[in-house]
């Protein structure tokens, strides 16, 4: 986890290849949410303030390995110009003679934005020749795209074989430091809160967490497969019957290791996600014609009591169909409980971030990860190619 930081690199007079995650939503040809752009600004400004010129690289959308004007980074460059207060010209491509000429002409303090990396199929193929072409544009590699760190792509992994040092940007460094605080040297008790729809998406994560945490709180649709493993009739709730035995085995392993797994004791049930309202029921009494769409007040109270005793909390996934107002209370309640716990908390995932924002507790969360897939894969204990490729700190 200890990787060289851009703050440790002499950047004066150097050209920096800065890999960022500018995969932002566009509406009517304009950036509609610049969260990912602003997150990378500290690293970009650090490079410029320390005498470097910067070649910025990112992907946008899924253009299927060929140029597509709908996925051009031109709107991103225009938005970035306004934020930086300096020109951000867009190269016609991310590799090739003309792009090399533009990069070589950069003076300290100047910026060049490369066109969408995914206009070349070689990017996702982690192609070495393509990576050499990218590496030819700069003297130093800096990766500030933790959200893409789980992908072995040319601009993330292969490029580091040809362009060194390969340093972590300031955002990447903060992500790694926060994640290290969870698993490398956490204050205990360490509790994990898991939600989301399918248990099949989280079984590997549950297995990994059982080796690391002191307690596990499970909500969302995935909880019903665990409840079924305990013998509960869950009505029409989301249930993966082919995962019931795996869920039972996970509960047995947790019990053998002395790890408490807390499941919902009550839910808000309704006929479907479009129902105007739901009614609270015990998990022992879910009507056969209804489905559980949120955790109930009793579960929120029990989860909050458990979280109050934690020293470190990691949370991924909503407790119910959070996007529907009748079924948002459980997720909001857990968000407020995490914020009020006094623990160092790390959250990741778009729905989880939206929940803490909706609950008005963003400032009371220890760290909010910008990543989705990379965050989950790290929690599962997988090696992230984009992290492994960086130069180790000395």
The class of domain 6-171 in CATH terms is alpha beta
pLDDT tens-digit series, residues 252-301: 999 999 999 999 999 999 999 999 999 999 999 999 999 999 999 999 99
User: Does an H or E element contain 80, and which?
Assistant: helix 74-84
How many whole angstroms separate alpha carbon 228 and alpha carbon 263? 11
Paired strand residues for 392: 3
How many whole angstroms separate alpha carbon 46 and alpha carbon 15? 13
334 Cβ neighbours under 8 A, 6+ residues apart: 193, 219, 295, 300, 303, 304, 307, 315, 319, 355
φ, ψ for residue 128, nearest 5 deg: -70, -40
Catalytically active residues, by annotation: 36, 198, 350, 373
Per-position DSSP letters for 313-325, written without gaps between them:
EEEES-SS-TTSG
97 Cβ neighbours under 8 A, 6+ residues apart: none
pLDDT tens-digit series, residues 128-156: 999 999 999 999 999 999 989 999 999 99
Handedness of CA 378, 310, 355, 357 (dihedral sign): negative
How many whole angstroms separate alpha carbon 120 and alpha carbon 172? 25
How many whole angstroms separate alpha carbon 152 and alpha carbon 384? 8
Q: pTM for this one?
A: 0.87
How many whole angstroms separate alpha carbon 156 and alpha carbon 158? 6
Sheet holding 15-19, edge to edge: 111-113, 53-57, 15-19, 140-143, 166-168
pLDDT tens-digit series, residues 154-211: 999 999 999 999 999 999 999 999 888 888 889 999 999 999 988 888 888 998 999 8
What separation in angstroms does the CA of 213 have from each of 183, 187, 206, 388, 393? 9, 11, 10, 24, 27
- HEC string for 81-133: HHHHCCCCCECCCCCCHHHHHHHHCCCCCCEEECCCHHHCHHHHCCCHHHHHH
Least confident range from 28-37, 231-240, 327-336, 371-380: namely 371-380
CATH of domain 178-379: 3.40.50.1260
Please indicate whether residue 168 or residue 354 has the higher confidence score (pLDDT): 168
Mean pLDDT, residues 334-349 taken together: 95
- The boundaries of every CATH 3.40.50.1260 domain in the chain are 6-171, 178-379
């Amino acid at each position: 986890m200890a990787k060289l930081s851009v703050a440790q690199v002499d950047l004066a007079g150097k050209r920096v290849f800065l890999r960022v995650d500018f995969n932002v939503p566009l509406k009517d040809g304009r950036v509609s949410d610049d969260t990912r752009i602003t997150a990378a600004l500290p690293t970009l400004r650090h490079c410029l303030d320390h005498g470097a010129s910067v070649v910025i690289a990112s992907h946008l959308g899924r253009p299927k390995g060929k140029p597509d004007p709908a996925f051009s980074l031109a709107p991103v460059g225009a938005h970035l110009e306004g934020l930086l207060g300096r020109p951000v010209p867009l190269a016609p491509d991310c590799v090739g003679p003309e792009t090399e000429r533009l990069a070589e002409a950069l003076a300290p303090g100047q910026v060049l934005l490369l066109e969408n990396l995914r206009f070349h199929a070689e990017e996702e193929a982690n192609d070495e020749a393509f990576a050499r072409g990218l590496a030819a544009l700069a003297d130093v590699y800096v990766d500030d795209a933790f959200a893409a760190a789980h992908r072995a792509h040319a601009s993330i992994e292969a490029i580091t074989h040809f362009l060194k040092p390969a340093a972590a940007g300031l955002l990447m460094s903060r992500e790694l430091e926060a994640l290290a605080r969870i698993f490398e040297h956490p204050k205990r008790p360490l509790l994990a809160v898991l939600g989301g729809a399918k248990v099949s998406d989280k079984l590997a994560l549950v297995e990994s967490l059982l080796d690391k945490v002191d307690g596990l709180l499970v909500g969302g649709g995935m909880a019903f497969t665990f409840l079924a493993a305990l013998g509960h009739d869950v009505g029409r709730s989301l249930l993966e019957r082919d995962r019931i035995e795996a869920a039972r085995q996970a509960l047995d392993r947790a019990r053998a290791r002395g790890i408490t797994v807390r499941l919902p004791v009550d839910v808000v049930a309704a006929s479907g996600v479009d129902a105007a309202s739901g009614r609270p029921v015990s998990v022992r009494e879910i009507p056969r014609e209804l489905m559980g769409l949120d955790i109930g007040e009793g579960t929120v109270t029990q989860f909050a009591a458990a979280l109050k005793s934690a020293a470190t909390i990691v949370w991924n996934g909503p407790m119910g169909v959070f996007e529907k107002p009748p079924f948002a209370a459980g997720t909001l309640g857990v968000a407020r409980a995490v914020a009020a716990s006094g623990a160092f908390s790390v959250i990741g995932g778009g729905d989880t971030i939206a929940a803490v924002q909706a609950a008005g507790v963003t400032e009371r969360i220890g760290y909010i990860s910008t990543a989705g897939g990379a965050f989950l894969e790290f929690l599962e204990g997988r090696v992230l190619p984009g992290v492994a490729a960086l130069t180790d700190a000395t």
